[in-house]
Structure 1
Amino acid sequence: MKSAYKFSNLCGTVYSNGNLIFTPDGNSIVSPVGNRVSVFDLVNNKSCTLPFEMRKNIACMALSPQATLLITVDESGHGFLINYPRQTVLHQINFKAKVKSIKFSPNGKYVAITHGNHVQVWKAPGFTREFAPFVLHRNYTGHHDEVLQISWSPDSKYFLTTSRDMTARIYSTNPTPGFTPVTLSGHRSEVIGAYFSNNMENIYTVSKDGSLFHWRHTTFVDSRGLDSDEEMELGENFIDHVRWRVQKKHYFNQGHGTKVKSCEFYANSNLIIAGFTNGIFGLYEVPSFTTIHTLSISQKKINAVAINPSGEWLAFGCANMGQLLVWEWQSETYVLKQQGHVYDMNALTYSPDGQTMATGGDDGKVKVWNATSGFCFVTFSDHNSSVKAVEFAKQGQVLFSASLDGTVRAFDLVRYRNFRTFTSPNPVQFTSLAVDPSGDIVCAGTMDTFEIYIWSVQTGKLLDILAGHEGPISSLDFSSSGMALVSGSWDHTARVWDVFGRNKHIESLQHQTEVLAVAYRPDGKQVAASTLDGQISIWDVDESKLVANIEGRKDISGGRKTDDRTTAENSSSGKSFNSLCYTADGSSLLAGGNSKYICLYDIESTSLIKKFQISDNLSLDGTQEMLSSRKMTEFGSVETMDNDEDELSDPEDRIDKSLPGTRGGDLSARKTRPEIRSLAVRFSPTGRSWAAATTDGLLIYSLDDAILFDPFDLELDITPVSVLETLHEEKDYLKALCMAFRLNEKKITQQVFEGIPPDSIPLVARGLPEKYLDKLLKFIGVHMETSPHIEFHLLWVTNLLTAHGRYLKSHRGEYQAVFRALYKGVTRVRDDIAGLCDNNVYTLKYLLSQQTLAKQTTDVTMD
C-alpha cells in the first residue's frame, strides 16, 4: 500500500477574501482561497492550487509584470515571495503591520505596500534565493488614517494612495526637482480607489459613498487665468509648479444605502468598473461618465474586481457567497461562474470511474465536480435543508442524495434533472444513504424514527421499512454483492441486514459507545465501525466476530481551540472518527473526524501508516497545539473578538443579527472562528487519490505529482547546434527531442522528430517524460496534416498511447484538445488514403477495360 499521498488540488472553494489578479497573458486568474492560492486557467478549463500554505488567510497579493514573482500577504502582515512558474516559496518576510494593498510598479523594479497610515516602497527582489531579497527604498508619510489602496503611474515615477482620511495623495518614487506630494481632498467618505490616465493628465478617484471625481492637471498660470504676456514674465520654471483641480464630479446613484465596495480602472479604454454592496456592478466610460453596462451578479456585496490586460474579461469575487465570476462584457456571457458551498460540506462521494465527485452541504445544494479540472459543472438546488449523504450509481450516471428535509432525490447526470423523489409516509429527517451495486435499491436512515427506509429506483415505491435500532442511524453501507446492508446507530450497535432474504436475518454487533460510521470492505467479508470513544472495530461478517480493534483516540487528537481551558492532550471533545473508507485493495482504512488530522491505518497490523494534517491555517480554530497566554483576557480570547474596523464602519454593518452562542449558519456573521474538521473522506476507485470534505473545502491528495521533475530545465547550453549534435553525433534521440522542446523552435523540433529512426520510436516513447507528452502529441497532430510520412506518424501515436495510456486515461480531461487534434489528423489521412484508393480502383478498371477493348479491336481487324 502506497502512502506517499501529497496535496494535489483544492475544490469546493474558489474565493474567500482579498484581491484577484489576472496573469499578463490574460488567460488565467489568481484567486486567494483561505491561506492558499488557486490559479484558474480560463482557456484550458482547469484549476490548480499552489502547494504552500500561509500562516493565516491571505489579505492581498501582487504579481510581477513578467509573471515571475508572486507576493502574498496574510491578515497579520506576514508575506511570502513565490517563484510563480515553479510554484515554490523563495523567501518569507514580516511587514509588521496589516497590509491592505500591495502593487508592483509597471517596470517591475519596485513594490509598494500599505503600512498603517504610511506607505513603504521596496526594491523588487529577484526570483532567486537571496540573503535579503527585500530592500526598503523609501517610507512615505502624510496620511492621517489607514491607507487603503495603491496605484502606479504608467511610467513608474509616481504612485497614488487612498486613505480613510477621505483624501488621495500623489508621491514620487524618487526625489524629483520641483515636485512636492499633492493631496487630493474633497470626498465626504473614505477613498477606495485612485487611478492615473494613460497620458497622466487625468486622475480619477472613487469614494465609498458612490462619488467619482475627475481631476485634471493644470499649472498655476492656467488656474489664475493669466494671458500669454503674463505667462512669459513668470519664466520657464512655472511648468514645474502644477496643481490638480476637480474637473467634474459624478455619482453612481445606486440607491439609498448602497456603497461602492470595490473598483478598478482600465487605462487603455478609460473604463471604470465598480462593485457595489447590493451585488450590482457597473462599467462606466470616463471622463464622460457614460454607463456602458450594469448587471446584478450576486446577492451579497462584491469584494474584489479585476480586469484582464486586453480589457475583455471582468472578474468579480464575492466573499460572503464564495463566488468567483468572470464576465465578458462585450458579448454579455459568463467565461467562468463558480461557487462553493456557502456553509459546511457534509457529504462526499466518487463516481465509479473516479473522474467526477459529488458533494452535499448545509446550504441544501448538491454539486458535481470534475476531478481533473477542479470545476463544478452542475449544481442541484432541489433540497430545502441540509444534505447529509450523497451516493453514485449506474456507472456514475445517477446520483442520489439524502437530506434533513425528509426527501431522498435521484438526479440524472445525462440530462441534469431530478427525475425521482423518494419520501416516507410520515415526516422524518434522513441522515444516511446507501445504494446497492445494481442501482435498483436505495436505502436511507433517519434521525428521529430510528428506521431504515428502502425504495425501488425504477418505480419510486417504498418497498420496506427496517426497524430495530433504538437511536438515530448514523451511517449505512451495502456490501459488494448487494445482498447485505450494514447500519450504524447511536444505540451502541451496528446491524447487518439481509435485505432480500425472506427471513430478514439480522446480526447485531455490540459496541461500548455510539457508532458514528460503518464501512464494508470491498470484498464484503469485513466491516469497520468507528465509535465515539475514538476506536475502530473490525468485524468478520460471516462469523459476527471482532477481528481487530484500532485505538485511534491519540492519533486523531490534536489542535486546541481558542476557548479551551485544557491542553490538546487532555481535551476529550472530538476525539473520534465520523467517516471511514477502505482502500481499493481493502488492506488499509482511511478515517477522518472533528480534528485537523486524517489517519491512514493498516488493518492487518492495526498500526498507523500515516497521519495527514489538512490545514495549518491559524485563522481556523483547532490548528494550534499551544495557545499564547498573552491573548487571553477576562472576557475570552482576543482572537475571537471582532477587530475588523473597516467592515464595521457603517451603522448597518454593526447590527448583530446572530443568535447567542451560534456556531453554525452564516460563517461571515458569526463571532466565533470556523473550526477545522473533516466531515467525509473517500478513496478514488483507482486508488491513486483520495478526497476529504473539510472546513477549508474539498481537499484532494494524490500520488501523481502536479509538478514533474525535468532534468533538462537545468541545462543552460541548449542551442540549435547542441541539439543537432545530440541527434546526429551522440544519437541520444530522447535527449535531443526534449532539448528541442525546451528550445521551442519549430524547424529544429521537426528536424529532430523526423531524424529519429523508426526502430527507436518504441524506446523513445517509453522514456519520454510526461511533461513533454502534451507537446509531442500536439506537434504530431499538426505535423500529420502536412507531412507525407503516414506510417511514421501512426507508429509514433501507437507507441505513445501504449506507453502512456494509463496516465492519459487518468488525465483525459487535460488532453481533450490534443485527442481531438489527433483524431482530426488521423481521420484526414484515412479519408485521403480512401479517396486515393478509390481513384486508383477506378483508374485500374479503366485501364483493364481499355485493354479488353483494344484486344477486341485487334481481333476484329485480323478477321
Structure 2
Amino acid sequence: MKLKRFLLRYYPPGIILEYEQGGETRSKCIDLLDLRPESDVGELVSEICTREPLVTLSKAEQLAGLIRKLQGKLSESHETQFQLFKEVRTHLLPLTNIAINKSGSCFITGSYDRTCKVWGGESGEELLTLEGHKNVVYTVAFNNPYGDKIATGSFDKTCKLWSAESGTCYHTYRGHTGEIICLTFDPLSTMIASGGIDATARLWSVEHGTELATLAGHSSEVICVHFNNSGSQVASGSFDHTAIIWDTHTGRSVHSLLGHRGEISSVAFDYGGNTVATGSMDKTCKIWDIRSGQLITTLRGHKDEVLDVAFDSTGQQLVTASADGTACVFNTTTLNCVHRLQGHQGEISKVSFNAQGSRILTASGDKTAKLWDSATGLCLQTLGGHGEEVLGSLFNYQGDQIITASKDNTCRLWR
C-alpha cells in the first residue's frame, strides 16, 4: 500500500487517506470526532503515526498542518444573523416535504400536485419540475454529499430516481403495495431505502433500478428509515411501536428494538454507528446499543409526543423535538439533558443541527422556525413570516443558509 494524498473532512472532523493498493486507488478515513481547538496536535500526530501504517513519520509535519487547519475551522465563529432573502411560492396544492443539497445551490419540494420541483438556492427560481407520479409526492431526498440525484416517494406506491441536473427519470421502483411515506439514500449513493403503509421497508439499487431486498417484519406502517454511516445497516421505525435494524447486504433483521409504548416517530444513527435513537409518541426517546440491540437508556422529560430526533455530526449531542412545544438537548456521554429549548407556542415537528453542531433549528406549528445556540440553549433568532405551520427547516452544509417550508405553500430563503 502506498499513500497518495491526504484529504480533509471538516464536519465531522477527519482526515481521508487516499492510497494505492494492487493498482487501484482506495481511501480510508481517520475520524477525529473528539478534536478540539485546544487539543494537543503533537500527541494526535504521534498516535496516528503509531496506529496507521500508511502514515509514516515523514508525513508527520504535513499531518500536523492539516489537523491545525481542522482546529481553525472548529474555532470559526458562527454568529450569523439571518435575513430573509426571498420568499418562494412553490405549488398550487399543499407542500409535503423539502430537501436541500449539500452546497445549498438547490433545494426540492414535494406536493399534493403530484410533482417534485427543483429550485435554485441562490436565486429562488424554479429550475425543474419532475412529473410522472400519479398521486401525492410525499417524500423527497437528495443523494448528498453528491447532490446529482433526487429520489421521490409517492402515494402512487412507487419511488422514482431523477437527475438533479436534467430532470431525467432514471428508474421507477415498483413493489410497495401501499403509499410510500419515507425514503433516504445511503451515504455512498448506491441504495435507496423506502418505507410505506404496507408495513415494509425496501432497498433499491441506484445503478440498476432493481429491488435489492424487502424488509418485512413490522406489523404496521413504516414511517421513518435511516442508514448508518457506512451503509451496512438501515433502521426502520414503525407505528407498531418498534424499530428494526437491518443488514443491507443480506436484507435480514439484526435487532428488533422493543420497549416503546407508542408509535415510533423518528429514528437516527449516530455518526459512529454505535448507537441509534428512537423517538416515540410515548413521550420518550430511547438510545440503543447497535452491537447488542440492548436499550442503553430512556430519555424522559417531554410532556407530549416526541416527534423528531437528531444527532449532531459527531454524535456527541442529541436533540429531541416534541408536541409539547419544547426541544431537549442531551449530552450523549453523560446522557443528561443539558438544555431545554423553550419559546415556541406550538408543537415542534422537525429539528436539526448545522454541520458544525453549534446551532439547532426547530420548525413549529406556531408558524415560525427558531435558531438556537446548542452550547447555551439560548434562542438566537426567530424566523417568522409564514402564514401556516412550518413543516421543515434546513441548513446547508456551511451553515450560512437556511430554508424554511410551510403549509402556506411557501419556502423562505434566509442568509
> 1:413: which partner in 2?
164
Q: Which amino acid aligns with 1:542?
A: R
Equivalent residue in structure 2 for 1:436, among 186, 205, 212: 186
Residue 382 of structure 1 and its aligned partner are, at CA, apart by 4.0
> 1:267: which partner in 2?
none
Gaps of 5+ in 1: 10-37, 39-45, 48-323, 325-337, 555-574, 615-622, 624-675, 707-808, 814-863
Structure 1 segment 731-810 matched on structure 2, within 5 A: none
What is the alpha-carbon distance in structure 2 between the residues aligned to residue 593 and residue 341 of structure 1?
28
TM-score (norm 2): 0.62
What is the alpha-carbon distance in structure 2 between the residues aligned to residue 341 and residue 679 of structure 1?
21
User: Is residue 176 of structure 2 the alignment partner of residue 506 of structure 1?
Assistant: no
Residue 612 of structure 1 and its aligned partner are, at CA, apart by 4.8
Q: Describe the shift of the 1:700–1:410 C-alpha distance in structure 2 as closer, same or farther (beyond 3 A).
A: farther
What is the alpha-carbon distance in structure 1 between the residues aligned to residue 264 and residue 301 of structure 2?
14
> 1:473: which partner in 2?
222
What is the alpha-carbon distance in structure 2 between the residues aligned to residue 594 and residue 385 of structure 1?
29
Residue 532 of structure 1 and its aligned partner are, at CA, apart by 1.1
Q: Which amino acid aligns with 1:683?
A: F
SS at match of 2:82: strand
CA deviations over 1:308-352 (Å, ceiling 9, x no partner): xxxxxxxxxxxxxxxx7xxxxxxxxxxxxx413556554344433
> 2:331: which partner in 1?
602
CA deviations over 1:480-503 (Å, ceiling 9, x no partner): 01001111111121110111038x
CA deviations over 1:470-519 (Å, ceiling 9, x no partner): 111121100001001111111121110111038x2421110222212111
CA contact (8 A) 1:529 1:537 kept: yes
What is the alpha-carbon distance in structure 1 between the residues aligned to residue 367 and residue 167 of structure 2?
24
Gaps of 5+ in 2: 1-35, 37-73, 374-379, 382-397, 403-415
Q: Which amino acid aligns with 1:436?
A: D
Equivalent residue in structure 1 for 2:297, among 536, 548, 555: 548
Equivalent residue in structure 2 for 1:422, among 173, 190, 202: 173
User: Is residue 328 of structure 2 the alignment partner of residue 577 of structure 1?
Assistant: no
TM-score (norm 1): 0.32
Equivalent residue in structure 2 for 1:387, among 120, 137, 140: 137
> 1:732: which partner in 2?
none
Equivalent residue in structure 1 for 2:210, among 443, 456, 461: 461
Q: Describe the shift of the 1:412–1:471 C-alpha distance in structure 2 as closer, same or farther (beyond 3 A).
A: same
Identity of aligned residues (%): 23
> 2:147: which partner in 1?
396
What is the alpha-carbon distance in structure 2 between the residues aligned to residue 678 and residue 366 of structure 1?
25
Q: Describe the shift of the 1:810–1:698 C-alpha distance in structure 2 as closer, same or farther (beyond 3 A).
A: same
Q: Describe the shift of the 1:697–1:544 C-alpha distance in structure 2 as closer, same or farther (beyond 3 A).
A: same
CA deviations over 1:25-62 (Å, ceiling 9, x no partner): xxxxxxxxxxxxx5xxxxxxx43xxxxxxxxxxxxxxx
Number of residue-to-residue matches in the alignment: 303
Structure 1 segment 271-290 matched on structure 2, within 5 A: none
> 1:339: which partner in 2?
89
CA contact (8 A) 1:516 1:530 kept: yes
What is the alpha-carbon distance in structure 2 between the residues aligned to residue 581 and residue 450 of structure 1?
24
Q: Describe the shift of the 1:606–1:812 C-alpha distance in structure 2 as closer, same or farther (beyond 3 A).
A: closer
> 1:685: which partner in 2?
355
User: Is residue 263 of structure 2 the alignment partner of residue 520 of structure 1?
Assistant: no
What is the alpha-carbon distance in structure 2 between the residues aligned to residue 691 and residue 6 of structure 1?
14
Q: Which amino acid aligns with 2:141?
A: E
Q: Describe the shift of the 1:576–1:364 C-alpha distance in structure 2 as closer, same or farther (beyond 3 A).
A: farther
What is the alpha-carbon distance in structure 2 between the residues aligned to residue 401 and residue 586 of structure 1?
28
SS at match of 2:173: strand
What is the alpha-carbon distance in structure 1 between the residues aligned to residue 101 and residue 322 of structure 2?
23
Q: Which has the higher strand share?
A: 2
CA deviations over 1:564-590 (Å, ceiling 9, x no partner): xxxxxxxxxxx2122222111212223
What is the alpha-carbon distance in structure 2 between the residues aligned to residue 700 and residue 380 of structure 1?
31
CA contact (8 A) 2:118 2:128 kept: yes
CA contact (8 A) 1:407 1:422 kept: yes
Cα-Cα RMSD: 3.6
What is the alpha-carbon distance in structure 1 between the residues aligned to residue 301 and residue 93 of structure 2?
28
CA contact (8 A) 1:402 1:408 kept: yes
Q: Which amino acid aligns with 1:390?
A: V
> 2:23: which partner in 1?
none
Residue 378 of structure 1 and its aligned partner are, at CA, apart by 4.4
CA deviations over 1:211-258 (Å, ceiling 9, x no partner): xxxxxxxxxxxxxxxxxxxxxxxxxxxxxxxxxxxxxxxxxxxxxxxx
SS at match of 2:207: coil
Equivalent residue in structure 2 for 1:489, among 238, 242, 249: 238
CA contact (8 A) 1:601 1:610 kept: no
What is the alpha-carbon distance in structure 2 between the residues aligned to residue 352 and residue 678 of structure 1?
24
Q: Which amino acid aligns with 1:457?
A: V
> 1:586: which partner in 2?
315
User: Is residue 379 of structure 2 the alignment partner of residue 701 of structure 1?
Assistant: no
Q: Which amino acid aligns with 1:366?
A: C
Q: Describe the shift of the 1:396–1:613 C-alpha distance in structure 2 as closer, same or farther (beyond 3 A).
A: farther
CA contact (8 A) 1:365 1:382 kept: yes
What is the alpha-carbon distance in structure 1 between the residues aligned to residue 399 and residue 289 of structure 2?
34
What is the alpha-carbon distance in structure 2 between the residues aligned to residue 535 and residue 612 of structure 1?
17
CA deviations over 1:384-408 (Å, ceiling 9, x no partner): 4333332221511112121222121
Structure 1 segment 177-216 matched on structure 2, within 5 A: none
CA contact (8 A) 2:363 2:370 kept: no
Q: Which amino acid aligns with 1:465?
A: T
CA deviations over 1:536-590 (Å, ceiling 9, x no partner): 0011111212112111423xxxxxxxxxxxxxxxxxxxx2122222111212223
Residue 694 of structure 1 and its aligned partner are, at CA, apart by 4.6
CA radius of gyration, larger in:
1
Residue 691 of structure 1 and its aligned partner are, at CA, apart by 4.5
